[in-house]
Structure 1
């Protein structure tokens, strides 16, 4: 076999395709986080509960994660260009619908449609870069693409805070419209029509994939809202997750039966680097979710920072990630990409380990910014070379399926990370809050110590660990003593939450070390060295 002929871009450089792909990917990544900062505002605007408003974000993440496998295969069947453009149109129109929503229900539906648009676009960005760029330049291109994720991660909260405080919550969605229109114009002008690969449509595979992933993602993503118990009637969270596992197992068996015509050809995972890159991708997404959830709560509840100021703590690290990623991509074209990724995971694990030691009630903010800079470096080293390792060497007929699988495992890793971190943080609060209350109670009057600690213990048992305890002061307590008790309660909350957050961050260190082990186990050599692409694309040029 020989390598496929270069794609005909009409004399243009392959780099000309990156602007629309990166703009679309930037919008997708920003919208995974931009809504979080507007949750209190949306509650007030729609007079809705926290659980209901939570679905504004959950609906987007659910449809996005569930459809990635299907949309990746659609790119192989119909070509990445039309699928990407369709997704871009859907995403932009849905963004307008979000801003115009007159009720929280309409907003949730519009966000779900927005997730569909994001799912249509995401696999095509990786697949098109993989197919258009020559192997020796692919790492550099994926480096630019990866830098978008680093910048977008923190741009969402910062941009959301600025827009919500200045012009209103609607603009966190309206801001996508001009960006989407520019991306659409560039996409129509610059993206090539790549060869497609006729194949039968795996209808049963689509159904099993969507249902299985939907059950798993819903159960893991929303389990905490139902205390991991009953949802309605006989339906419980464990039942939903169990059903998701069974349906997903049926999907895998069906894919094995379908062979090369499967929605997700299992032969992709025979490639050692592809299989390990999927595990490593899930690990880094798990860790990113595991870092930001407890860390953001700590910044606001313990250090008292505003949402916008809390977002700014991570801004330097995000900018560093955006700078490092392109260099890491180029480096992975010159040296074995596995070592770039391995170094990134080690830097990430060390940075979060240091951050966990600094999470204290009275720490100076700059001492948190420094390890977050290391986090940015590590993310930049991991993201783009990992994508390169995952897709290099795959049959060109399955580039979309490979990109869809890689992005699906990343998203599911993030969902699992969110569920695990919430569970760990809650369980640790049940222990650290009463312990902190026991320590500060030593300075209280003797007759108040027992009730004070018991109040915190009861609050922690009810999942109210950060609420300040459940101890009601007797009416005849002098004002000075009451002030002393309130100060002690605040100190206990801050100390207990800081300790729980630090212990939760330590969990992500272990997951990052798993990612490092996956990178170490990958095959050596340059990242673009691998099996040749399918021969049926030889001499085929895009028109």
Structure 2
């Protein structure tokens, strides 16, 4: 019974992350078909209506790296669930926008939520799943991303034929609510290692001090190893990490090796 429960939990984790990737990819292509309807509804030109698409893409690409870093500090699950909630709420307000300015604003918030999902989704699968199913789950994630980009055009055409352009955003709401609930309940609370700003700064300081204060390490034959990969592991057979080494910057290198191995 416990094995069945564990398998079900793994499947729900994969479903939540894959669904987030699919929805984020779909929303970057499904809006293209609705630009004409949006420009007609708000009485704006097609060039102005294209900002509905551009704003989303700029927000996703601009906030992808910052939220990936923030996930290391605050926890990947927290960023993923908050991003999915922001994406879902922004989708509703995009459909209910009273003016074109508000549509652009909520579309930017939707892009920020999409960046939070995209930045932490693959890492969540890596830290929440065992090694034997991790590769398959990441394959599902990549397939969902590609399928979402391709399916957006067909899905958008069907929605525009039978419904209004607003339903392109409204359909994200019930799916997003279910996915947020699943992610919050099923993904482990400690998924992803949390790092404090102090530990992050100390490690970066260790890197910089070691690189500034040490001369290029030399091999056992006495030849310079400049331009070769620096041995970061304490178990690496190099004199740069040996306690008896007396070359300049040896103390900084020892602190680098000890912090890296811990």
TM-score (norm 1): 0.35
CA displacement, residues 317-357 of structure 1 (integer Å, 9 cap, x when unaligned) = xxxxxxxxxxxxxxxxxxxxxxxxxxxxxxxxxxxxxxxxx
What is the CA distance between 1:145 and its match in structure 2? 1.2
Aligned residues between the structures:
204
Instruction: Report the secondary structure of 1:127's partner residue.
Output: helix
Instruction: Quote the residue 1:35 is aligned against.
Output: 31
Instruction: Quote the residue 2:124 is aligned against.
Output: 128
Inter-partner Cα distance in structure 2 for 1:139 and 1:38:
36
- Contact between 2:123 and 2:192, CA under 8 Å: does it hold in 1? no
1:199 to 169, 178, 196: 196
Any gaps of 5 or more consecutive residues in structure 1? Answer: 1-8, 206-255, 262-533, 537-543
Instruction: Quote the residue 1:180 is aligned against.
Output: 176
What is the CA distance between 1:197 and its match in structure 2? 2.7
- Contact between 1:15 and 1:141, CA under 8 Å: does it hold in 2? no
What is the CA distance between 1:196 and its match in structure 2? 3.2
- Contact between 1:64 and 1:115, CA under 8 Å: does it hold in 2? yes
CA displacement, residues 401-430 of structure 1 (integer Å, 9 cap, x when unaligned) = xxxxxxxxxxxxxxxxxxxxxxxxxxxxxx
Instruction: Quote the residue 1:345 is aligned against.
Output: none
Matched, 1:12 2:9: no
Matched, 1:104 2:95: no
User: 1:145-164 alignment to 2 at 5 Å?
Assistant: 145-164=141-160
- Contact between 2:30 and 2:153, CA under 8 Å: does it hold in 1? yes
Inter-partner Cα distance in structure 1 for 2:178 and 2:119:
20
CA displacement, residues 141-189 of structure 1 (integer Å, 9 cap, x when unaligned) = 1111112112211211111111112110000000100110110111122
Any gaps of 5 or more consecutive residues in structure 2? Answer: 209-259
What is the CA distance between 1:199 and its match in structure 2? 2.6
Aligned CA distance change for structure 1 residues 95 and 260 (closer, same or farther; 3 Å): farther
1:82 to 78, 81, 95: 78
- Contact between 2:73 and 2:197, CA under 8 Å: does it hold in 1? no
Runs of 4+ in 1 over 4 A off after TM superposition: 256-261
1:73 to 65, 69, 76: 69
1:189 to 185, 190, 212: 185
Instruction: Report the secondary structure of 1:12's partner residue.
Output: helix
Instruction: Quote the residue 2:51 is aligned against.
Output: 55
Inter-partner Cα distance in structure 1 for 2:174 and 2:33:
22
Inter-partner Cα distance in structure 2 for 1:181 and 1:76:
25
What is the CA distance between 1:123 and its match in structure 2? 1.8
What is the CA distance between 1:132 and its match in structure 2? 2.2
User: 1:235-384 alignment to 2 at 5 Å?
Assistant: none
What is the CA distance between 1:257 and its match in structure 2? 6.8
Instruction: Quote the residue 1:119 is aligned against.
Output: 115
Instruction: Report the secondary structure of 1:145's partner residue.
Output: helix
Inter-partner Cα distance in structure 1 for 2:261 and 2:137:
24
What is the CA distance between 1:113 and its match in structure 2? 0.3
Aligned CA distance change for structure 1 residues 159 and 77 (closer, same or farther; 3 Å): same
Inter-partner Cα distance in structure 1 for 2:172 and 2:205:
40
What is the CA distance between 1:191 and its match in structure 2? 0.7
Instruction: Report the secondary structure of 2:6's partner residue.
Output: coil
Q: For the aligned residues, what is the CA RMSD?
A: 2.6
Instruction: Quote the residue 1:166 is aligned against.
Output: 162
Instruction: Quote the residue 1:371 is aligned against.
Output: none
TM-score (norm 2): 0.71
- Contact between 1:84 and 1:124, CA under 8 Å: does it hold in 2? yes
Inter-partner Cα distance in structure 2 for 1:94 and 1:118:
10
Instruction: Report the secondary structure of 2:30's partner residue.
Output: coil
Instruction: Quote the residue 2:135 is aligned against.
Output: 139
CA displacement, residues 43-93 of structure 1 (integer Å, 9 cap, x when unaligned) = 111110122111101111101101111111111111111111100110011
